[in-house]
């Protein structure tokens, strides 16, 4: 995949911008900003994007099928994890569906949205140098940055190049390879979890459709495909 990178100083949200420009943007268009004033996260949450301290970017992709589109968030999670390993030598883990954690703190959020009939916008925010206290002051004690967790300062440019190179390769993987890699790195599997709709149990797997498989105390299996899932003792 050839990426066409567009850089901005500041904007509301790189994903909102690409949504507005989806019709005239070819597949592989990347928009990144040094600061987002209205960064958006999953489930209507905001994503804090202070200036110059993180990589905030969105990529426009045009999948050939819904099945392909559903793999994008997993591909993005794996690509971020690889990019963090390459730049810092640190091991990160993936919390279903696609938060990237170091030392059980979230350093990256991923948001996949449909833009029009044919486009998916993959938004990725990696906190690079933001001090941990900044998030704690915003009541986000489970959020941190790559520098705060690894002691390694990675520049925005370095992380962007590494991430796009990883992403372009992972997006080519067959679905089975992607899911099997995702399962190995998914820290949710094997843990006690509870979902926002009240299901409590042990996560046993991630299904072929990307759903979280949870077995409750009565032995009943639940397949979760959206919403908030907390891991006991993490967040
Ligand atoms: C989440 O943690 O719930 C997802 C956060 C996704 C943040 C990225 S930053 C770049 C892109 N623009 C946005 O407004 N959101 C995504």
Over the stretch 44-87, which tens digit does the pLDDT of each residue have?
999 999 999 999 999 999 999 999 999 999 999 999 999 999 99
Q: Do 161 and 67 lie in a common domain?
A: yes
Residues 6+ apart with CB under 8 A from 54: 125, 126, 127, 128, 129, 130, 145, 156
To 5 degrees, how large is the angle CA 158–CA 161–CA 165? 140
- Burial 121-159, CB ≥16 within 10 A → b, else e: bbbbbbbbbbebebbeeeeeebbbbbbbbbeeebebeeb
CA of 131 to the centre of ligand 1 (A): 19
CATH number where 108 lies? 3.30.930.10
Which residues make beta-bridge pairs with 112? Answer: 122
Mean per-residue pLDDT pooled into runs of 10, the chain (235 residues): 96 98 96 98 95 98 94 97 98 96 98 93 98 96 98 98 98 96 97 95 95 96 91 92
Query: How do strand 200-206 and strand 212-215 relate by DSSP bridges?
Result: antiparallel
Q: Do 120 and 154 lie in a common domain?
A: yes
Q: Rounded to whole angstroms, how far apart are CA atoms 40 and 56? A: 11
Of the residues 170, 185, 200, which one is the last residue of a structural domain?
185
Domain that holds residue 112: 4-185
Q: Do 116 and 196 lie in a common domain?
A: no
CATH number where 202 lies? 2.30.30.100
- Of 159, 125, 131, the closest CA to residue 46 belongs to 125
User: What residue owns the CA closest to ligand 1's atom 9?
Assistant: 125
Q: Which atom of ligand 1 is nearest to the CA of 57?
A: 10
Q: Which atom of ligand 1 is nearest to the CA of 45?
A: 3
- SS3 at position 166: helix
CA of 126 to the centre of ligand 1 (A): 9
């Amino acid at each position: 995949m050839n990426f066409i990178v567009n850089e901005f100083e500041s904007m509301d949200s790189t994903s909102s911008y690409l949504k507005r420009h989806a019709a005239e943007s070819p597949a592989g268009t990347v928009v990144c900003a040094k600061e987002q004033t209205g960064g958006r996260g999953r489930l209507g949450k905001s994503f804090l994007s202070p200036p110059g301290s993180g990589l905030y970017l969105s990529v426009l992709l045009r999948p050939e099928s819904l099945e392909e589109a559903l793999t994008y968030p997993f591909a993005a999670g794996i690509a971020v994890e690889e990019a963090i390993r390459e730049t810092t030598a640190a091991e990160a883990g993936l919390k279903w569906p696609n938060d990237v954690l170091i030392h059980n703190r979230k350093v990256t959020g991923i948001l996949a949205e449909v833009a029009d009939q044919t486009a998916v916008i993959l938004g990725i925010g990696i906190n690079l140098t933001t001090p941990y206290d900044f998030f704690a002051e915003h009541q986000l004690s489970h959020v941190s940055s790559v520098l705060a967790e690894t002691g390694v300062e990675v520049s925005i440019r370095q992380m962007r190049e590494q991430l796009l190179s990883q992403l372009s390769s992972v997006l080519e993987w067959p679905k089975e390879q992607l899911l099997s890699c995702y399962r190995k790195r998914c820290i949710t599997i094997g843990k006690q979890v509870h979902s926002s709709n009240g299901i409590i149990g042990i996560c046993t797997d991630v299904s072929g459709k990307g759903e979280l498989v949870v077995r409750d105390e009565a032995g009943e299996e639940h397949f979760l495909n959206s919403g908030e899932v907390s891991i006991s003792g993490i967040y």
